Amino acid sequence: MKVNGTPYRSLWWEENAQALQIIDQRWLPYDFRIEQLETLAEYCEAITGMHVRGAPLIGATAAYGMALAARLDPSDGNLDAAWAALNATRPTAINLRWALDRCRKALRPLVEADRAAAALRLAHDIADEDVEINRRIGQHGLEIIKEIAAKKPAGEPVRLLTHCNAGWIATVDWGTATSPMYQAHDAGLDIHVWVDETRPRNQGALTAWELGSHGISHSYITDNAGGHLMQHGQVDMVITGTDRTTRNGDVCNKIGTYLKALAARDNNVPFYVALPSPTIDWTVSDGVREIPIEERAGREVSHVQGALPDGMIGTVEVTPKGSGVGNPAFDVTPSRLVTGLITERGVCDASAEGLAGLFPEFAASGDPA
Ligand SMILES: CSC[C@H]1O[C@H](OP(=O)(O)O)[C@H](O)[C@@H]1O
C-alpha cells in the first residue's frame, strides 16, 4: 500500500545491505520509522516486541530470520537453534510455526552449501505468496460487500466493523480483513468502517492510519461501542483477521473478537473472518482448549502510548499503583458464531467440511508447511 504516495510493503529485502528492512510499527501512527534487522536476536526482538506484528507478517519475518541463520551457519544444529529461538518469540499466531517448519523442511535435504541461497529464495516466496493470498481474499470479500450494497438504500454506505489491525501493515501487503475494504473502495463502493481501538495496544490506530491514508471513510471507536452500534442497526457486517483458525473453524484472534461475535449474533449481523490458509492449524480441533493464548506484559495495560503535546511519543500510566493487571492478548470465537471464512480460494462455512472443501490436500495431510 502507499504511504504519502510511496508504495510500501511491511518488510522488504535490501540487496545492498543484504538485510531485511521493516516498518517499525511501535511508532505508528505517530511516526514512520524503518528498522534494519541484522542479527537473529534482532529478528526475535522485532517479533516479541511487536516491531512487526500480525500473523502473516510474523511468519514472513521468521522466514527471513531462517535465511539469516542459513547464511551465517547452514548446519542442521544452527538451523534448529534458529528455529527454536524464532518459534519462542510469540505462541499464538500459527503462521510463525508454519513458516519455520516450511523453511526447515525445505532446507534439511539440501547440502549445506546450497542452503543460504535457497532459504532467501523461500523467504521471498513466502512474502510474495502472502501478497497474492491477501489480494485474492480481497476479491472474495468484495463480492460479499457488493451483495450487501445491493440491498442498501441509495446513498447509504455499507458499514463494516473491524477489530484490531488485520491490515496491510499486519501482513506483507493488502492485509486480510482490510483487503476487501481496499478493493471495495477502489471499485467505487461507498463504505464506512467502524474501527475498534483495540485496547491495550490500540492496533485500531494502525487500521485508522491505513484507511485514512487510502481515503476510506472510517470512525475510531472504543472497543465497547460495537455492540451498541449493532443494536442500533449501524453495522452491516463485521470482518476481522485471525491468528490461528482450527480445522473446524474456531477462530483465535485479538482479545475482544469473541465479544464482537456474540454481539453480532445477538443482532443478526454477519460475522466474517478473513483467513489466509497459512493461518489454519490443521492439527487442532477445539480452539478454546487447544490454542495457546499469549499473556503479554501488564505494562501494556497499565500504560498507554500516545503523541504528547510537544509531538513526542510517550506513555501515561492509567491504572492505580499496586493494582494487579491481566493481559491475555487473544481469545477464541467458536465456529458456531462465525458466518463465513473468507479465504484465498473462496468463502466457506466455519466448519471442518467447509475448510476441507476448499483445502482438501491440507485437510487430508494435516501438514500445509
Ligand atoms: C492479519 S493477522 C492480524 C492479527 O494479528 C493481530 O495480533 P497482534 O497485533 O498481537 O500481532 C490481531 O490479532 C490481528 O487480527
Output the domain CATH number for residue 43. 1.20.120.420
Residue at which a domain ends, from 82, 103, 129: 129
Helices 94-107 and 112-150 meet at what angle, rounded to 10? 140
Half-sphere exposure of residue 302: CA atoms within 13 angstroms, side-chain side: 12
Determine the distance separating the centroid of ligand 1 and the alpha carbon of 74, expressed in angstroms. 31
Give me the domain span that covers residue 228: 138-365
Output the domain CATH number for residue 248. 3.40.50.10470
The catalytically annotated residue of 243, 250, 281, 331 is: 243
Judge whether residue 137 has pLDDT over 80: yes
Q: What is the mean pLDDT of residues 152-167?
A: 97
Measure the CA–CA gap between 261 and 239, rounded to whole angstroms: 10
pLDDT at residue 310, as a whole number: 84
Are 224 and 336 found together in one domain? yes
Measure the CA–CA gap between 119 and 114, rounded to whole angstroms: 9
Confidence of residue 369 (pLDDT cuts 50, 70, 90): low
User: Does the CB atom of residue 170 touch ligand 1 within 6 A?
Assistant: yes
Write the ipTM: 0.99
Q: What residues pair up with 12 in beta bridges, in sequence order?
A: 21
Residue at which a domain ends, from 129, 153, 169: 129
CA angle 191, 193, 194 (to 5 degrees): 150
Are 122 and 143 found together in one domain? no
pTM score, two decimals? 0.97
Atom 15, ligand 1: which residue's CA is nearest? 241
User: Does the CB atom of residue 54 touch ligand 1 within 6 A?
Assistant: yes
Determine the distance separating the centroid of ligand 1 and the alpha carbon of 163, expressed in angstroms. 9
Are 183 and 92 found together in one domain? no
Q: Which residue type is seen at 77?
A: G
Q: Which atom of ligand 1 is nearest to the CA of 276?
A: 1
DSSP 8-state assignment for residue 294: P
User: Does the CB atom of residue 164 touch ligand 1 within 6 A?
Assistant: yes
Determine the distance separating the centroid of ligand 1 and the alpha carbon of 319, expressed in angstroms. 25
Judge whether residue 359 has pLDDT over 80: yes
pLDDT at residue 366, as a whole number: 76
Are 156 and 123 found together in one domain? no
pLDDT digits (tens, 9 = 90+) for 165-182: 999 999 999 999 999 999
Q: Which atom of ligand 1 is nearest to the CA of 175?
A: 1
The pick from 47, 53, 259 for probing ligand 1's pocket by mutation, whose C-beta has the most ligand atoms within 8 angstroms, reads: 53
| Residue-wise burial string across 256-288, b where 16 or more C-beta atoms lie within 10 A, e elsewhere | bbbbbbebbbebebbbbbbbbbbbbbbebeebe
- The least confident of 4-8, 188-192, 262-266 is 4-8
- Annotated catalytic, 310? no
Atom 14, ligand 1: which residue's CA is nearest? 166
Q: Which atom of ligand 1 is nearest to the CA of 241?
A: 15
Judge whether residue 185 has pLDDT over 80: yes
Measure the CA–CA gap between 369 and 256, rounded to whole angstroms: 29
Atom 7, ligand 1: which residue's CA is nearest? 54
User: Does the CB atom of residue 243 touch ligand 1 within 6 A?
Assistant: yes
Judge whether residue 297 has pLDDT over 90: yes
Are 201 and 75 found together in one domain? no
Are 97 and 178 found together in one domain? no
Residue at which a domain ends, from 88, 109, 129: 129
Judge whether residue 349 has pLDDT over 90: yes
User: Does the CB atom of residue 176 touch ligand 1 within 6 A?
Assistant: yes
Determine the distance separating the centroid of ligand 1 and the alpha carbon of 108, expressed in angstroms. 30
Are 62 and 142 found together in one domain? no
Alpha-helical runs (H) found in the chain: 40-48, 55-72, 76-87, 94-107, 112-150, 178-186, 204-213, 226-231, 257-266, 287-290, 299-302, 352-358, 360-365
Atom 5, ligand 1: which residue's CA is nearest? 54
Determine the distance separating the centroid of ligand 1 and the alpha carbon of 29, expressed in angstroms. 16
Are 261 and 287 found together in one domain? yes
Are 153 and 264 found together in one domain? yes
Judge whether residue 352 has pLDDT over 90: yes
Are 352 and 302 found together in one domain? yes
Domain total for the chain?
2
pLDDT at residue 116, as a whole number: 98
- The 3-state DSSP class for residue 102 equals helix
User: Does the CB atom of residue 329 touch ligand 1 within 6 A?
Assistant: yes
